A = this chain, B = another copy of it.
Amino acid sequence: MNQPTNNNPTTNRQVRLVSRPEGIPQAENFAITTEPVPTIGEGEILVHNIFLSVEPAMRGWVSNVANYSEPVAINGVMRSFATGQIVESQHPDFLPDEYVTGLFGWQDYAVVNPEKIIRKVDDNQLPISTSLGVLGLNGMTAYFGLLDVGQPKAGETVVVSTAAGAVGSCVGQIAKIKGCQTVGITGGPTKVELCRDQFQYDRAIDYKSENFEQELADACPQGVDVYFDNTGGKITDAVLSHLNVGARIVICGTASVSNWNPHPLGPRVERQILVNRARMQGVLIFDYADRYQEAVDALTPWINDGLIHYEEDILQGIEQAPDAIAGLYRGENLGKRLIKP
């Protein structure tokens, strides 16, 4: 483990949600406050966060619109995955100096019980930051979403939106490992190049291109068997017009739809689903909690063998947190966005 930690803190900086955004959370929806480092009670664990995660899904977590979790409370610490080192423990299963990853929030220190901990982090040669990306929920989402829901077969065409992102880049590479033809959809020439060179997509195209629809058709001469969808919206509309019979559409995120209230309109999907006997299904990684280790065990050797590459975008300082989600939606990151507080 190559990360510095500070075991002699005096204060705990926390990023709190101070107002509820309409749509994408912006810097002004958050404030940074300071309080003393908390003390722990029976069965509790004090974790010093080393990396905080920034996720597109955070837009949903702070929204009042129906979701898979309770919205973050106003003036509450922003919900977040994080990886840190145990400073103090009153639980027999967790010892000081161990590294753990879990729902620790955007703060320097978290008092947690074991239910908040996803797993201990002990990934051999891999940097600890991977526990929040390619070996974190992003990589696990790619693994279960593609293999369990998408069920790609060798020779099939797999299309991925936000193909250069933390989830998408992993999806594309797992599909390649499984013998599929991979087509990445991303935004801008830098990410297109990253998709081709780093993430080994067979073809990568830019959704911002004037000729996007034609380029998509050219990239999928055999049609689309699996579409791993991180965007929804117009990109999805375009991909759905190329479905093969029996196609699987994995709905993992809706990054391109900036607001669900009022409910946006799009082309009706019923007929394409029917005619192609296609299957469209949502995936949420928390449903796979009892199988996380399976994904880590599968992904680790692929990473070590150079079959899966990953990129990280590490922001320095907790003061970067308030604008970090908005930045994701501006598309300014290359790879998994983290904050080193």
Docked CA distance A68–B246 (Å) = 12
The 7 closest A-B pairs by CB, nearest first: A232-B270, A274-B282, A279-B281, A277-B282, A266-B268, A265-B265, A280-B280
**Listed stretches A39-47, A197-205, A213-221, A249-257; interface member:** A249-257
User: How far in angstroms is the closest Cβ of chain B from A62?
Assistant: 15
Q: Complex Cα distance A37/B278, Å? A: 42
Residues of B within 8 A of A251 (CB): 270, 273-274
B287-A282 in contact (CB<8A): no
Chain A positions 201 through 245: 1 when the CB is less than 8 Å from some CB of chain B, otherwise 0 = 000000000000000000000000000010011001000000001
A276 nearest CB neighbor, chain B only: B282
- How distant is the Cα of A275 from the Cα of B281 in the complex, in angstroms? 10
* Smallest Cβ-Cβ distance to A236: which chain B residue: B270
Are A287 and B283 in contact, CB atoms less than 8 angstroms apart? no
Closest chain-B Cβ to A318's Cβ sits at a distance in Å of: 30
> Do the beta carbons of B282 and A275 come within 8 Å of each other?
yes
Alpha-carbon separation in the docked complex, A268 to B236 (Å): 11
Q: Is the CB of B275 within 8 A of A66?
A: yes
Q: Pick the most buried of A251, A252, A274: most chain B CB atoms within 10 A of its CB.
A: A274
Instruction: Give the docked Cα–Cα distance between A274 and B66 (Å).
Output: 11
In the complex, are the beta carbons of A257 and B282 less than 8 A apart? Answer: no
The answer to the question of A269 belonging to the interface, with a C-beta cut-off of 8 Å to chain B, is: yes
Number of copies of this chain that the complex holds: 2
Residues of A within 8 A of B (CB): 60, 66-68, 229, 232-233, 236, 245, 251-254, 257, 260, 263-271, 273-284, 287
Tell me which residues across on chain B come within 8 A of A278, comparing CB atoms: 281-282
Kindly state the separation between the CA atoms of A276 and B329 in the bound complex, as whole angstroms: 23
Q: Which of A67, A257, A275 has most B Cβ within 10 Å?
A: A275
When chains A and B are docked, how far (Å) is the Cα of A264 from the Cα of B268? 6
Complex CA distance for A6 and B280, rounded to whole angstroms: 50
Are B257 and A268 in contact (CB-based, < 8 A)? Answer: yes
- Give the complex CA separation of A268 and B253 in angstroms: 13
Q: Which residues of B contact A232 (CB under 8 A)?
A: 268, 270-271
Bound form: Cα–Cα A243–B253 in Å = 18
**Residue among A229, A253, A273, A276 facing the most chain B CB atoms (10 A cut-off):** A273
* Chain B min CB distance to A39 (Å): 37
CA distance A275 to B59 in the complex (A): 13
Query: Which chain B residue has the least Cβ–Cβ distance from A66?
Result: B275
A66 to B271, CA, bound (A): 10
Check if B66 sits within 8 Å of A268, measured CB to CB: no
Q: A67-B275, A68-B275, A275-B67 are in contact. Are A229 and B270 (CB under 8 A)?
A: yes
Contact A287–B277 (Cβ < 8 Å):
yes
- The CA-CA distance from A44 to B270 in the complex, in Å, is 39
Contact in complex: B233, A257 (CB < 8 Å) = no
